[in-house]
Structure 1
Amino acid sequence: MTADGLQFHRAVEDMEIWSTSSDGFSFVITYESPVGPGFRGRPGYVASWRPIHHSSGAIKIGGSPFNTFAEAEEACNTMLKYLTKQN
């Protein structure tokens, strides 16, 4: 993890999907909306995580969907701090 927290990058050029990984965990933020291209759902940014080295599904971070990307990013940083304290 950098001093500024997780560094997300756009994972898919034509869709609103951002990803990053740190300390054995993968994080993804997607934008959902009821209409238009991309993921369907309540409008907002959905944050999720999963362990990199386990074949398990992603776990949605509580509070999703968030109103802004920054809120979703902050939730991912908070989850990483929690997860790394558990190990």
Structure 2
Amino acid sequence: MRLQFHRAVVNMEIWSANSDDYSFVISFESPSGPGFRGRLGYVASWRPLDQSRGAIKILGSPFQTFAEAEDASNTMLNYLNDESNSVRLES
């Protein structure tokens, strides 16, 4: 199942999506200008829904386009689900 991102903050470029177990966020950063400061591009991150811990940046961030960040998020979700299924099978 692909993540369905929606705009999370009206006046900033921040999108979010949830799966059953994980939360994903894509934000736009720039060295100057409004919003988050950082290297120019779209930063994708994730965290487990059931834990109160910080987000983990997805390898490759920042991405040049939103579509690249979205694809990386979906790839990470597939990896996390595969790992989760492997752990359940080994138990």
> Into which bin does the TM-score normalised by the smaller protein fall?
over 0.9
Q: Which has the larger radius of gyration?
A: 2
Report the structure, 1 or 2, having the larger helix content. 2
Indicate the SS of the match to 1:76.
Answer: helix
Q: Does 1:18 align with 2:15?
A: yes
Contact 1:11 1:19 in 2 (8 A): yes
- Amino acid paired to 2:70: E
Q: Does 1:35 align with 2:32?
A: yes
Aligned residues: 84
Contact 1:18 1:29 in 2 (8 A): yes
What's 2:71 paired with?
Answer: 74
Large movers: runs of 4+ above 6 Å = none
Task: Name the CA distance, whole Å, in 2 between partners of 1:59 and 1:36.
Answer: 24
Identity among equivalent pairs (%)? 71
What's 2:59 paired with?
Answer: 62
Structure 2: gaps (5+ residues): 85-91
Per-residue deviation at 1:70?
0.2
Match among 53, 65, 76 for residue 50 of structure 2: 53
Indicate the SS of the match to 2:36.
Answer: coil
The TM-score with structure 2 as length reference comes to 0.90
Per-residue deviation at 1:72?
0.1
- Amino acid paired to 1:24: D
- Amino acid paired to 2:29: E
The TM-score with structure 1 as length reference comes to 0.94
Contact 1:6 1:22 in 2 (8 A): yes
